Structure 1
Amino acid sequence: MAAVDVCDGDNLSALMCSDCETDEEVKWFCQECQLNFCDRCQAHHLRRKKSKSHSIVPMREAKYTQISESRRLCVVHPGMSIDYWCESCASVICIKCVPGRHKKHTWCAIDDFMGRTQKKIRDKTDEFREMWLKYRTAMSDDSRFSEYFTQCIARLNEDVNNQASILCQEVDKMKEDLLKEIAIFERKETLKKDKNQVGMKEDMTALNALITNTELELKCCDSASSLNVLSKRLSDQEGCFQCPEINRCHPPTLSIPEHFDQLKLVSLFGQLKYPSSTNLDEKVIYEVKAKYLKTKTTRKILALCVQDNGNIWVSFDGNRFLMLMDEYLGILKESCDTEFGVVSMSLYKNTDIVFTRFMDTCVQRLVSNGDRMMTIADLYPYYAKGVCVNNENRVLVCAVTSSTKTCKIVKMTGRGQILMEITNDAEREPLTLPYRIASVDGGELFVVDMATDDHRVICLDKQRDRLFSWSWRGEGVGSVDPLGIACDKNVCYVTDEINNRIYMFPKKNNTAVVLLDESTRQSGPRCITVDRKGCIWVGCNNGIILKIER
């Protein structure tokens, strides 16, 4: 026989007063009668001659010796054995309890419930055992990968040292930087591996203890209540363990250059190629020739616009004027005062510039070779964001309200006459938050849509219908945050300031490919434009302009 406390939190909420059988709170227990009472019935019980000397204690102190479950008697209906289990109340009941409080509850024979619960507990234990085996397999795989990783790091160090031995003293600093970069990468991955192993060991220990304790407790459980408590505890523990997933970053490799460029000491060593995606087979990097043109400032470049003669207008962060530079970034002149910073601009009729400014509702036009500015349209209450000019010399502007609940794309003439508006109507919903825009010769529009938690590029046809949407998810390029956009014939280019990459994809195919990634050492490619010759110009956050020739 076992000493049982029937007044735990779960049973207390399920008990009824033995006298009045109401739902009032049960607070008292008579040790002699083995009955439970509410406040009113407890006082009445003590007034009776036969029971006034009984020992009545608070329910929290009530304990009695319980015999086996099959011979227990109902505390509500004295003399009746408890043969049933109420699943709604999670308590044992007798046959007389069913028509009363448990009339509409789900109940079954107590033997059936105990059998089902025992099977459920055993199934859970088997699941935890399988999970423990997965942890053990993951740890074994992690150890083998650690050996492979160490060998790769050793080969990297050997390659760098061998390459440095044939170089002159001028490249010693680059050697030190590369070795330091490898060491940092190795330290990060080692710390990550150690942390993963510690976590997996702790989980395995906890799982092993849980399995052992559960099996021991299951052998001792001889009541439906105790089985139910054990089942609930196992269900609560289930969410604490998940199958271990090992996301490993592949070791970098050293790309040895095929030629030597005395102007770039970094090319004497090559570059460490870091994997940018978990699926490396789907990632494609095009062979391109990129020139790094350094301006005389390290300010962020907000917008670019290349003229037909090769000169380029540049907007720097914090400047209230545009800079006109030649193809070697020599300063030719400054424009008139634009009053606010220019965030997007496009060439209009080979000579003028249409542009939008930071937190401004107007679309501006720069004429007279940058000496005069004029307002062609005011989109209030919408803020003008991205702007472009199509092959018909029509101006296209992304417009959003301050609340970002409504947005549209406005098509207008160079004098500001509005021809068409594309809104985010309820039926088509092509737009969420248009930020930048570009147009191809066929009339299709490419829009950078800053949708919440899923920034994407949307392609719209002439009828304003969505052709396709490219969200980068599942494309094998990893995490992407698109910003700048430009089009050249049937190809669209997108910059990713956060991840230091430039992407491209054809007009009729929403599969992304990587044009340039972080191995080019670029710093935050922000804005992008394409000149008449097909050269790609990219403005970065550190004052560098990339000129890319494919």
Structure 2
Amino acid sequence: MMESRNEAQHSVECDLCQQPVSFFCRRCTVNLCDTCIAIHLRVKSKNGHDIVDYTSKDDDDTCHCDSHPQNDCSAYCKTCDAPICILCVTIKHKSHEISELSDKIEELLKVIAKENDRLRSSKNEFEKILDHTTKMLSSISLYYKQRKDEVTARGEEWHKLIKEIVKKLHQELDDIQKEHEDVLQKQKKKFEEMIAKLDEMNGKTAKLKKSKNVKEMQIFVPVIQNHQNLNEFSQYSFPSFYECKIDPNYLQTYFGYVEKMQEKKTLLLEDELKQSELSSTRILDVPTVTSVIDTGFPASEKSKTRLYDMSVTDDNKVWMGGASRELKLFDLQGHRRHTVSITNIGMYLCMYNKQVVYSGTNAVRMISDTDTVVTMFTTGDWQPYGVTSAASGDLLVCLRKDDQNKVVRYSSTGTVLQEIQYDSLCQPLYKEVVYITENVNGDIIVTDWEKDAVIAVDRLGIFRYSYSVKDSDYDVCSVATDSVGHVVVTDCKDNKIHMLDRDGRFLRYIIPEGGINRPRAVCILGHGEMMVGESKTGIAKRIKYLDE
């Protein structure tokens, strides 16, 4: 360490004689060797001299008075918003409002600490994105190889007639992969640089905490305050291979195509869940049923189930869907207020812009004010299942096609804003997506019936947690979340409701007085209440579970 320091000093020369530097005059900002110190001290200066070892030249934690540079500042003039020395207090600033210098230092350090905490919280988000991007880069070749294998398999089906098309599509994938890797490398570098900048400011903050140099603090405050965090970043979708019907006359036309990589902006929103909200609620030891609604849905021929899904309106009524081609609106006292006819069984529904929305055949549909069924958008050859409205004003939809599963964020007009299908290692996240909800922290949570698990990703689509129970009686069904981030999961085989915290940790079972029979549909009513539907009986129970 000593050798490296000496080498660094020898690389800098004395400003008076060009010999290796040993000392530094802070007042004059002059580099000095051993011999030239005495010469420099003989030079008169109105600011005086402050000679220190060269290696300590940047360690000055004192603040010198602008009017009397030979004096250290010991007070602060609020009128002039400047640090001053004791002479200034009695002369130039005599009639001004004066405070202790330590009070101003404390005030500035609080501002710096607050802004530094803000930036440090952003760093965690950036590090998560960086980790996700790095993992994607490490496994991107595997993913593209999987897509190439799909193309090859399709080519083998058509034998020698399509060899040229296979070669062409391979090249497209190679080109996209190179472009994909390039943009991810740039993103990786960008976030590394941003994190390094945050670390630099954090280091500066730590240094200033031990300092009394108000000037340096004043210079640093606007720097840290004006440092703008990134409010969005780009997510790039993976290409998909789409198969087409085989027609020997139009091989290239019907063989298939590679969907190009797309850039989609995702906002970096701050988590709005407040710990004070969590601490003000208590889960009741014995949840109570406050009212019961007989929905009157018939039993399906195959499974003998009746009630499938429900969604609460802004005025605390509940739309319910079951084994018939109609949706029913009930108030919380059990009175049916309205019924509308729909195009298929009401299996999955939600509220969107005060209208009830449901999943139809290859489409998402809405009931208009005139009770007309309106197609919001179609989903191609993907079949929609669970649907929920997001805090951003978008719709989140579970989609399935053959053995593929994904969650897609749509705008109200059907524009695809985000696709969630693979983890950071390019492996499928889901096997059989069914119900979906969004938590208050932005997590997107689905029930996967084949995995018999609840799977959560964050708002960026990065895997967060999976919850399941190693119990033969456990049968995950539906999911909902409340205003403080609790995750509520219905277990229709074991006749229980599982309550998790926002990080997927089990809290307790919710089993109301009198029990519950085959719970499936669930929605949160507010005021510590939920509505749970019994799939076999068609009964909906209003349950008080929180003491707010």
TM-score normalised by the shorter chain: which range applies? 0.3 to 0.5
TM-score with structure 2 setting the length: 0.44
Structure showing greater radius of gyration is 1
